[in-house]
Structure 1
Amino acid sequence: MTTAALEPRAGRRCHNVLNSLHATHYFSPDLGRELAAVGVTDPRAVNFAVRSAAFGPVGAGAVAAAFYNYRYELVARHVPAVWETATPAQVLAARVRAVDATLRRLLGEEALASAEMAEAARLALRAAEACAREARPLYAAHADLPVPDEPHLRYWHAATLLREHRGDGHLAALVSAGLDGLEALVTHTATGKGMTPKWVFATRGWSREDWDAASQRLRERGLRDESGELTGQGAALRDEIERVTDRLDRAPYEHLGAEGVARLTELGTAFARAAAMAGAFPADLIGKA
């Protein structure tokens, strides 16, 4: 389905609500419970396992490269050791069970069985038809997984494909901009739209000393000022990174068409908002503090 040209940020807005729904399981007690059932109990090992399981039993190098903004030493502490505890196939099955439980708890049975959920799944899967595997390792690995049967899981699966497709392109934009993984986090947090330092330290393996060193490098490049805010040059760089990411991620949304993107954004916003109101995310996850 193709229609008139998309408004420049339409794809970004659609992705944002889809990604929000996708991300709910990372903060869900259901994920920890299902992974513990297959022997994976460390929360950081859970994170690395569920997102990289589509690769198969890979080592730390592949995971660190694809995840980009995690400290390598943290990745290597858990990968490939986690595959001695649970196979990728076991992890993938546990992830789907956790997503199912999470969405049922956050959205309710009526929403999961609704015509709107089925429509959202159809639209998101149609958009994902135009995703490209080339130079997009996380997307390509997940694209090889089977599409679930139930509408809410089909929707989540499609949201995952679209999230990883954009994410892989975003990493290309960050590399082109000359930002390493931690510098990318520091500048994103400075926009007020990224994770707070507390959550960066808790999940990415970086220390306050690492953060301060990255901040100093950014100041030396004229991207961050002494108060921790982005300079005009820094804000312009972040804007350019998002524009490049938009360009690299246009194909799925052009394929869906302006009308389809608008409808998917409308449906996705309702589901994401309901999940957030049900407590899907920590209150202090996003911001500068």
Structure 2
Amino acid sequence: MTMTSTQRLACALTAGAALVAGLAGCVPLVIGGAAVAGAGMVATDRRTSGAQLDDQGIELRGAARVRDIANDDMNVTVISFNRQVLLVGTVGNEGDRRRVEDSVSRVDNVRSVVNEITVGPGSTLPQRSNDAFITGKVKASLLDQKDIFANAFKVVTERGVVYLMGIATRREVDRATDITRGVPGVQKVVRVVEVVSDADLAATQARQGGTGAPPPPVQDGASSSSARVPLPPMAPLPSTGGTAAPAPAGSGVTTTPVR
């Protein structure tokens, strides 16, 4: 007997429903699929697999320590990248700000802490929604570029201030900063990046067997720094024009304005 198109459609829908019902009890299958996707991300991450696991543990333990000392005026987020911790959010007073930093700095495997917590009221829901929107736009803008490796950077936004974390060459850092500056709504860019040379990055990738190949080398003759230290924050534009705000005496760094 020849089946009509309507009958074939009904059979297909029935088979599909049976397949879904059968998979509903196969939770390990779904988790396994997620694990495969996660393995792909591990392969393209410039951190070692050990560092990635440490970062997850640092964030969990750091958040637990913050909860232990938290009060109604404390809204803090702990982010770790390559065992370097970024603290963002708000607290009610300077004493709480120092307490959070001290508590998180004593978490196992933490190398350093960049404390960007501010004293004041917590973010509103519209502010948090706007921050999430900005983060998405910055990530999309980085992914659109062909001359940098977007996965080299972790993007965090707090009240319009975008924090770039990662492991990258000086050229990549400068390029990512320029891209981020051009995203609407970005008030300031703070770079918490470990700067490595092209040669060091290539050697690291070779040892790890990762697929995140370094971008083309610097063409303007500028040398890439191999110092694994955070770059200075990007100062806001002066209100009356002029040059960028100078760095504190003896700091050895120079701040540049956000365009």
Mark yes or no: TM-score above 0.5: no
Bigger strand share: 2
Bigger helix share: 1
Structure of larger gyration radius? 2
Q: TM-score by structure 1 length?
A: 0.27
